[in-house]
C-alpha cells in the first residue's frame, strides 16, 4: 500500500497572521477528500452548476466528463475557489475539503490553494528559468528559506518525470521547453508546494499524442501521493486513467458518478449511455 500523506487539520485553511489503475489501488483508503452538497454556481443570472452532490475519495483519479458548457471546469474551479476571481460568480450550497466548507468566511483562499493545486489546459510556465518556475511557489509562500530549495526543486521535477530531461539546464528559460515538457514543468510547479489535491483542466488537449501519453503515465504515478481530479473531453482518456468518473450534462447537472468501468460498461442513466456512445455531445 502506498504511504499516504498526513492530513493537516482544517485550521490550515483558516485565515491567520501567520490506465485505469483502480485494481492496483484497490487496497487504498476511500476517505472522502472533496465533498459537494447541493452545490449551485451562477454567473450572473446564468446557472452553471445545478444541485451537485458528490464525494471524491483521496488517492484516486477522478475524471469529469461531459459536453462543452456543462459545468465541468466550473466545478473544478469551485474546489479551490478560483471562481472568486469572477465578480459575477455566486456559489450556493456546500463544498468541503476534509470536512471544512471552503466557502466559510474563515477560510483563506490562498491557503486553500496551497493544498489544492491546479494545472491548466494550456501550459503556462512563467518567463523565468526552469529552476525559478519550480521554486516560485516556495518563495511566494516564504518557504524558500526554511527548506533546501535545490532539493525541493529536484524532488518536484523528479515527481513530474522531467528531471532527467532538464537537470543540466535548470538556468534555461521554461519557455524554451516543448509543449509537453512545459506542461510537466507546470505540474512540477504545482507539486513543489506539497499539495494534497491536484486539479487538472484538460491538461493534454493542447499536446501531441506522445506528450499526452507521458502526462497520462505521470498521472498514474502522481496518484500514489496525491488525489487527482481531471476534466477531460477525451472519453478514451478517462477510461484509461481514472478510477471513478463523473458525468455532467447540459444545465450543470451531475447525472452519474461511479467506478469508471461501470460508467463506461453499464451506466445507470440512459443519458450517460447516449453521451458515451456519441448520440449527442
Evaluate whether 159 touches 190 at the Cβ level (below 8 Å).
Answer: no
Residue 144: the pLDDT is 59
Q: How far apart are CA 67 and CA 100, in angstroms?
A: 30
Residue 47: the pLDDT is 97
Q: How far apart are CA 161 and CA 75, in angstroms?
A: 28
Cell numbers of 79, please?
474546489
Which residues lie across from 155 on neighbouring strands?
A: none
Angle (deg, nearest 10), helices 130-140 and 149-159 = 110
Hey, where are the domains in the chain? 10-15+24-276
Backbone phi and psi for residue 40, each to the nearest 5 degrees, phi listed first: -120, 135
- Which helix (H) or strand (E) segment holds residue 52: the answer is strand 46-57
Residue 3, pLDDT above cutoff 90: no
Residue-wise pLDDT for 150-177, tens only, equals 999 999 999 999 999 999 999 999 999 9
Residue 281: the pLDDT is 61
pTM given for the model:
0.87
**Count of C-beta atoms within a 10 Å radius of residue 3:** 7
Cell numbers of 131, please?
529552476
Residue with cell 448520440: 279
Residue 139: the pLDDT is 84
Residue 12: the pLDDT is 45
Residue 131, pLDDT above cutoff 90: yes
Evaluate whether 226 touches 173 at the Cβ level (below 8 Å).
Answer: no
Residue 7: the pLDDT is 40
Angle (deg, nearest 10), helices 179-191 and 130-140 = 30
Residue 27, pLDDT above cutoff 60: no
Residue 147: the pLDDT is 75
Cell numbers of 149, please?
530549495
Residue-wise pLDDT for 202-221, tens only, equals 999 989 999 999 999 999 99
Residue 103: the pLDDT is 96
- Sequence-separated (6 or more) residues with CB below 8 Å from residue 135: 144, 149, 152, 153, 192
CATH for 10-15+24-276, options being 3.40.50.1110, 3.40.50.10860, 3.40.1350.10, 3.40.50.300: 3.40.50.300
Residue-wise pLDDT for 74-124, tens only, equals 999 999 999 998 999 999 999 999 999 999 999 999 899 989 999 999 999
Q: Is 48 left (phi over 0), alpha (psi -120 to 50) or beta?
A: alpha
SS3 192: coil
Amino acid at each position: 500500500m502506498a504511504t499516504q500523506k498526513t492530513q493537516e487539520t482544517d485550521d490550515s485553511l483558516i485565515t491567520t497572521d501567520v490506465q485505469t489503475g483502480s485494481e492496483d489501488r484497490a487496497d487504498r483508503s476511500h476517505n472522502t477528500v472533496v465533498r459537494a452538497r447541493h452545490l449551485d454556481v451562477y454567473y450572473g443570472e446564468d446557472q452553471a452548476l445545478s444541485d451537485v452532490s458528490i464525494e471524491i475519495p483521496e488517492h484516486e483519479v477522478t475524471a469529469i466528463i461531459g459536453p462543452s458548457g456543462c459545468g465541468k471546469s466550473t466545478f473544478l474551479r469551485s474546489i479551490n475557489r478560483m471562481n472568486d476571481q469572477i465578480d459575477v460568480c455566486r456559489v450556493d450550497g456546500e463544498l468541503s475539503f476534509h470536512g471544512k466548507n471552503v466557502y466559510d468566511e474563515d477560510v483563506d483562499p490562498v491557503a486553500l490553494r496551497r493544498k489544492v493545486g491546479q494545472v491548466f489546459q494550456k501550459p503556462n510556465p512563467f518567463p523565468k528559468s526552469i529552476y525559478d518556475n519550480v521554486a516560485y511557489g516556495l518563495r511566494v509562500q516564504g518557504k524558500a528559506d526554511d527548506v533546501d530549495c535545490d532539493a525541493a526543486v529536484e524532488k518536484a521535477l523528479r515527481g513530474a518525470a522531467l528531471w532527467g530531461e532538464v537537470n543540466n539546464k535548470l538556468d534555461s528559460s521554461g519557455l524554451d521547453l516543448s509543449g509537453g515538457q512545459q506542461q510537466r514543468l507546470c505540474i512540477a510547479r504545482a507539486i513543489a508546494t506539497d499539495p494534497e489535491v491536484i486539479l487538472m483542466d484538460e491538461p493534454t488537449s493542447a499536446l501531441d499524442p506522445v506528450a499526452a501519453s507521458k502526462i497520462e503515465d505521470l498521472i498514474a504515478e502522481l496518484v500514489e501521493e496525491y488525489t487527482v481530479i481531471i476534466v477531460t473531453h477525451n472519453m478514451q482518456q478517462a477510461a484509461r486513467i481514472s478510477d471513478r468518473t463523473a458525468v455532467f450534462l447540459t444545465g450543470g447537472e451531475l447525472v452519474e458518478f461511479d467506478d469508471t468501468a461501470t460508467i463506461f460498461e453499464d451506466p445507470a442513466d440512459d443519458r450517460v449511455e447516449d453521451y458515451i456512445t456519441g448520440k449527442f455531445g
